[in-house]
Amino acid sequence: MQKSTIYPVNEVLNLEELADIMGCNIGSFPSTYLGLPLGAQHKSTEIWTGVIGKFEKRLATWQMQYLSFGGRVTLINSVLDSLPTYYMALLPMPSEVIEQIDKIRRDFLWKGNREKHKFHLIKWEKVTQPKYQGGLGIKNLAAHNKSMMMKWLWRYNLEDAGLWKEVIIAKHGRLNQWCSNITTLPYGVGLWKSIRMLWDTFDQNAYFELGNGVLLKFWTDKWLGNITLQEDFPDLFRIAQDPNSIIAANREGINWDIRFRRNMHDWEVNDLVDLFARLQHCHINLQAADKLKWGHQKGVYTVKEGYQQLCSRNPVIANWPWKLIWRTKLPPKVVFFTWIALYEACLTQDNIKKRKIQFPNRCYMCKKEVETPRHLLLHCEVASELWSMFFCLSGINWTTPLTVKDAYESWSLWKVDKAIKKIWIMIPACIFWCIWLERNKRCFDGESTALGILKTRCTENLFSWTNLYPAVNAEQLQDFTNSLALA
């Protein structure tokens, strides 16, 4: 009993004596039990202090080390994954807590703990989008939290014999077979209340698999396609004999027997024909129970798909070429720079000026024009030389597109030999990277590289990276290099 603790609720007489008899310690609320807060307000930010602290500590241990951007992104997500999931899976994260953790994550991403100040080049809302939606794939905390909590709504349907489910039903009652009632009681029910509030969100991707039709309502459940029969056939629903009837009650043997309160008018008969046409394709399986299904993959709720569905409501950047950016074997720092370049957010002089720092803006490369990402990476005479070095090979006249994103994408659309395609689509990132290094050398060290050497360096980089693709046909590659040498 040494490990046990007695917790008094309200006033308890002779507490010490009791503790003596039991041979245990006396504790007080709030406390923790199995790592979970006990007796604290579930919405209080206090219980999250430990989580915030863990975040800070985990990321701070990396303080002295050099980490690339790619490494930082991985680390930020892995710290999130290593946190005790029962916090995230049970308690709604208060917005102040999200803001605090996001600040730690933001600073870590852009500063990497090394420098005092660094610009945040891309808005956090974009950074926390999945990669396929234009982001970096850093987890959005609110969505992550919700996707984990929604797992309980799923488990509610899986676990028929769970004691926790019985407790919930006893306390709240059932809304239907699939979900409890909404809680209106003001006390002691906080946890489930927050989870239950996510039902509408959860329900948007839920559907039913018809079994024996005993649990599903014929008119009002979504069991046949994406909408209910009530919504699909409102006129028929209005005259249905029992609007709440289950599917099985609308069957007679192996046939459908749908009952109405009165005879059909002529104009309703067409609807009825349509309804029967819909019903023709569904099969009652008397041996199986009706089941709740979820999502667009295997019909099973997973936190991962839940998270994706929550993120899919965010605005998507039109035609964001995410596969081109991320599905490559280029070094992560190059990939990351490409991502920033496509947003035209790299710290060129115009972008620094937008941050209210004033100075005359002149391109370090040509010393003629104003430096913007588009100019520097596409239209500057130095950039043009690099681009033309490559596109001369294809014999196509390339009118350089206006934006960095367009240039990047249109480059990939060129028809080149399949064998060198993987290398070909690496070229824009390679050019961006070479120009950026050279630009920084000119800007910070005051040194410049001759154009010829810059070109050689660019091709050298490309070929050192092509080694990452051992499957590329060696002969084709040889041709490609030879033609480059001629260019």
Residues contributing to the site for Zn ion (CB under 5 A): 363, 365-366, 369, 380
Q: Where are the beta strands (DSSP E) in 162-217?
A: 174-176, 179-180, 206-209
| Residue 402 CB, nearest approach to Zn ion (Å) | 16
Nearer to Zn ion, 136 or 377 (CB): 377
CB of 348 to Zn ion, least distance (A): 10
Q: How far apart are CA 463 and CA 458, in angstroms?
A: 9
Q: Which residues pair with 33 in a beta bridge?
A: 36
Closest distance of CB 353 from Zn ion, Å = 16
Q: In the complex with Zn ion, which residue's Cβ is closer, 182 or 402?
A: 402
148 vs 365 by CB, closer to Zn ion: 365
Tell me how far the alpha carbon of residue 193 is from its chain's centroid: 25
Give yes or no for a contact between 112 and 67, defined as CB atoms under 8 angstroms apart.
Answer: yes
Phi and psi torsions of 256, nearest 5°: -85, 140
For Zn ion, the closer of residues 288 and 443 by Cβ is 443
Q: Which residue, among 256, 176, 246, has the nearest Cα to 211 in the 3D structure?
A: 246
411 with 428: CB under 8 angstroms? yes
Closest approach, Cβ 381 to Zn ion, in A, equals 6
In angstroms, the CA 73 to CA 256 distance is 56
**Does residue 485 contact residue 456 with C-beta atoms inside 8 Å?**
no
At closest approach, how far in Å is the CB of 375 from Zn ion? 6
Compute the least distance from the CB of residue 458 to Zn ion, in Å. 17
What's the token pair of residue 18?
Answer: 């009791």
130: Cα within 13 Å, side-chain hemisphere: 18
d(CA 300, CA 282): 21
Q: Which of 19, 363 has the CB closer to Zn ion?
A: 363
Minimum distance of Zn ion from residue 340's CB (angstroms)? 19
Distance of CA 124 to the CA centre of its chain: 13
Nearer to Zn ion, 396 or 453 (CB): 453
Per-residue CA distances from 36 to 87, 117, 436 (Å): 7, 37, 49
User: 180 or 349, CB closer to Zn ion?
Assistant: 349
